[in-house]
Every structure is written in C-alpha cells, then in structure tokens.
Chain A
Amino acid sequence: MNLAASYEQWKSLMVLGEEIGFFKEFYVKFYQAFLENNRWLQYLEGVGTTLLTTALALCIGILLGVMVAMVRTAHDQQRPGNHNPLLGLVNIICKVYVTIIRGTPMMVQLLIMGLVIFKSSRNFTAVGALTLGINSGAYVAEIIRGGLMSLDPGQAEAGRSLGLGYIDTMRFIVVPQAFKAILPALGNEFIILLKDTSLITVIGGKELLHAAQGIYGRTWEAMFPLVGTACIYLVLVLIFSWFQSKLERRLRQSDRR
C-alpha cells in the first residue's frame, strides 16, 4: 500500500474523531512529524547546523581555553622576583573572563550576546556559536589548568634540572602527560557543548531543536518531533563517546605496551 495514501486516509479518520487504534495513530503522527512534505530534510539540515555550531564553538573554546590556561599557569609558575607585569595584567583579564563566564547562566549569556551586543546581526547561528565558544573556553581553560597542575611537580623539576627551558619542559614533558589526564574531562565538556547548541534557539539559531519547533508549530503535535530530536542528540553523543574511548585506549597503550 502507498505510504502517503494510507496516511491521508487514516488522518482524515482521526480528524473526524474516529478510533483507529494505537498503531495507525502512531503511524499518522510519525509520518506527519518526519515524512510529510519531506520534513526529515529539515531535521537533517538542523543536525548539520548543530554539528557546524559545535565544531565552531569547539575551535573557539579550545583556542581560548588553551590560551587562558597557558597564561594562568605561566603566571603562577614564574620565579619569585621575576614577575612580568604584562603577564600579570593578562592573567587578571583571564581570571575575570573565567569568573564571569562560569558565574552566569549560559542562557543569559546567549540572550545578552544575541539581543544586546549583536542586536543588529541577523546571523543568529554564528552569534550562537561564538557565545558557546566563549562559554566553553572558560571551562576548557579550567580543565587544562587542572590537568597541568595535577601532574607531579617533580616531572617539571626534572626537566628544568636538566637545563630544559620552560617551553620545552611544557612541550615534551608536562603537556603530553597532562593531555592524557584531562581527556575524559575534556570529552565530557565537548558532549555538554554539543547538547548546549540546542540553547541557541532562544536567539533564533536554526539548529536541530529549531527545526523540531518549526514542525510541531505547524502540526500541533509535539511529542514526535521532540522525542525524535532527543534520539538524534543521543545518537550524536554516542558516536562522540565512542571516538573518545577509542582515543583514550590508544593513549593508554603507549605507556604500558
């Protein structure tokens, strides 16, 4: 039987208030949410935007996070009596940034960025990605800083005692070991970021949840679009976690062998 034809037939029965049974009703709602008018294309487009936003925010977040973490650690590890005033100033800026971002809700940040700072911009998705990136940067910075700090100070001391400079010690000794330690926390942060992209709908970002909202706004049936959206997010996160555990296993192998 033709899919569209049976949808039309059962739907008209439903509109008349007739009992058509659980499976037929399920079919109608499913068809309406995903297949009618090729709506699955809208979800697909939404997923594309979601992934693009995540990738963009990820890049901004890592860039900001690494820079802030580097400044904060370098500042804390200066030789006493050898303080660099410029580094001190940048360190204060970094501290303020982390404090403000971690101290205010993501949603409020999004609204401020979208409705106040970039009031005249029509590119909501880009503004959303930028905000998410700035937000994520603060958390990534703290994760990286924590990883660098958690490493036995004896490792850096051994490097320095051999005459290696600060940069070389970081590059060959501290960072490779810290990276392994922070990978789980970092992966967690990326998953949060991926899911938080759904928040950019509040400023009009056109990602997956936005697509779902558009559809149930037209069909007056919210369950299928929303549960479908949840499922898509879940699958994305599962793929993400799979890659992450794969990477972790690879890194662990190198030190046991």
Chain B
Amino acid sequence: MIDVKHLCKSFDDHSVLKDISEHIHPGEKVVIIGPSGSGKSTFLRCLNLLENPTEGVITFNGVELTNPKTDINAIRREMGMVFQHFNLFPNMTIRKNITLAPVRTGLMTQAEADKTALELLRRVGLEDKADAYPNQVSGGQKQRIAIVRALAMKPKVLLFDEPTSALDPEMVGEVLEVMKELANEGMTMVVVTHEMGFAREVATRVLFMDEGRIVEQGTPEEIFGNPQCERLKSFLAKVL
C-alpha cells in the first residue's frame, strides 16, 4: 500500500533518516517505537509529504508521491493524519472542523458531511459537542475529534504522530480506546507512540527506530519478548 525505497531526509547537514526501505500492507497496524530524536515522527511525516524527503521514492497505491508532478492533495485525501497537538482549527466549531475538508474537496455535500460528522461524533461519544469550539473541550476530547476529522475524509490509511503524548495521563485511555476500535475494524494504521501497551495489544508489526534507521522489527511478541539488538534491549529496559 505504502512503499518506501531508500528514503533519506536531512535538515541542512543534519541527517535524520538514513536510507529507510519499508513496505506497509493494507490492513496492517504498524507501530513505530524508539528514543526521541530517532526520526520516528520525521519518517511518518514523510509518508504524506509534510516533510519532503531529501532522497528516495515513496509510492502510495502505485502513485509516486515523491514525483513533483503528483497531485499531493489528492493523495492526502486518502491518508488521514492525527497530530500530537491535535491541530484542531480554533476559529471554527467542531462540526465545521470535521466537515470543512470533505465539503471543500467535493467528497460530500454539506448535508452529507453534517450527517457523517454527527455519526462519527456519536461513535466517539461527543455528538453533543458538535457546536462547541475546540477550546471548550478537554485534550482527550480534542484528540478524539481530530481522529473523527481525519475519518470524515474516509481515508485508506491513518497516520498517528504521537497521538497521546500531549494528553493528561487520565485522558490517554479514551483516545487509545478509539484507536483500538479503528484497528479492530480493519483500518490500516501507522502509529508513532510511546504507549508500549498499545503497541503490544494492537500492532501487527513493531518497528524500532534508532538514529535514523529501522534497527529491528517484528511482531510485538518478538520485539517485546525476545529483543535481539542491544539498543532495543536497553530502550525497552528503560521504558517498560
């Protein structure tokens, strides 16, 4: 589904990603773990070109994203993204936050989008917040709304960039719950997270990144039960 070949990314002369090749299959739930500064977020942001790769080729369902002639907006419509800091639009109601993109991109009429928004909000238990503004709801609620906003575009894959890192501990659970539900429904997901419990429970594959490379990967059982490299062992010893 998403194919990454020899991806390199450097900011000025600081090299963040070093020759990453990886393939993400439909239905997979890939969780990326690793110490901070290892390039996890940059890797994820390269997948929908929020960061422009310095080198390498990324293909999404046969379309080459890294080709400057590709209509990146059309690709992004099929790749939802959830951010660490939610990035809801504070100048619009929550309903408008959710319906803006589907309506403006011609995916739905306003009426259809309103209906979809309410259905999705109901699913995450927030239908009564439709007319509130983002600053009036809690962090956990914001992140659930951000997930709904991404879902409203009916994406084929969802990218999560540390979705629970900016939340109060007591709100992490409600967001992870929504993500687990999505995973169970078969959504393809790529998740950068520090929630090892979530990785263990939901991931079909765990990637461990360090210093711009994918150092080790495998099923959660392999990664958490039988880590091979020293770097992963010491990382797990610290976080578990």
Contacts and interface: CB of A to CB of B under 8 A. Distances in A.
B83 A164 contact: no
Interface string B32-54: 00000000000000001110100
Contact of B50 (A152, A155, A160, A172): A160
A164 B101 contact: yes
A82 interface: yes
A162 B77 contact: yes
Interface range on chain A (Cβ under 8 Å from partner): 20 to 34
A81 B76 contact: no
A100 interface: no
B135 A163 contact: no
A256 interface: yes
A255 interface: yes
Contact of B76 (A79, A152, A162, A255): A162
A79 B85 contact: no
A161 B91 contact: no
A152 B84 CA distance: 13
A163 B87 contact: no
B52 A254 contact: no
B85 A82 contact: no
A151 to B, nearest CB: 10
Nearest to A81: B68
A154 B87 contact: yes
Which DSSP category, helix, strand, loop or mixed, fits chain B's interface?
A: loop
A176 B92 CA distance: 10
A145 B90 CA distance: 20
Contacts of A162: 76-77, 80, 100-101, 105, 149-150, 153
Interface residues of B, number: 33
B81 interface: yes
A255 B89 contact: no
Interface string A56-91: 000000000000000000000001111000000000
A161 B72 CA distance: 10
B104 A161 contact: no
A161 B133 contact: no
Contacts of A180: 91
Contacts of B88: 158
B105 A163 contact: yes
A82 B77 CA distance: 20
Given A154-B87, A158-B87, A163 B52 contact: no
A80 B150 CA distance: 26
Interface in B58-106: 68, 72-74, 76-81, 83, 85, 87-92, 100-101, 104-105
A157 B85 CA distance: 11
Contacts of B73: 160, 163-165
Interface string A150-192: 0010110111111111001000110011001000000000000
A161 B89 contact: no
Given A154-B85, A164-B73, A256 B91 contact: no
Given A158-B83, A160-B50, A256-B135, A177 B91 contact: yes
Contact of B83 (A154, A176, A255, A256): A154
Nearest to B101: A162
A81 B53 CA distance: 10
A81 B70 CA distance: 13
A173 B85 contact: no
Contacts of B50: 157, 160-161
B74 A163 contact: yes
Given A161-B80, A164-B73, A255 B133 contact: yes
Interface string A239-257: 0000000000000001111
Which 10 pairs from chain A and chain B are nearest by CB? Answer: A163-B77, A158-B87, A162-B101, A161-B81, A154-B87, A163-B76, A176-B91, A82-B68, A80-B52, A163-B73
19 contacts: A79-B52, A79-B68, A152-B85, A152-B87, A154-B83, A155-B89, A157-B83, A158-B87, A159-B101, A160-B76, A161-B79, A161-B80, A161-B81, A161-B83, A163-B76, A163-B77, A164-B104, A255-B91, A256-B133
Interface of B: 48-50, 52, 68, 72-74, 76-81, 83, 85, 87-92, 100-101, 104-105, 133, 135-136, 146, 149-150, 153
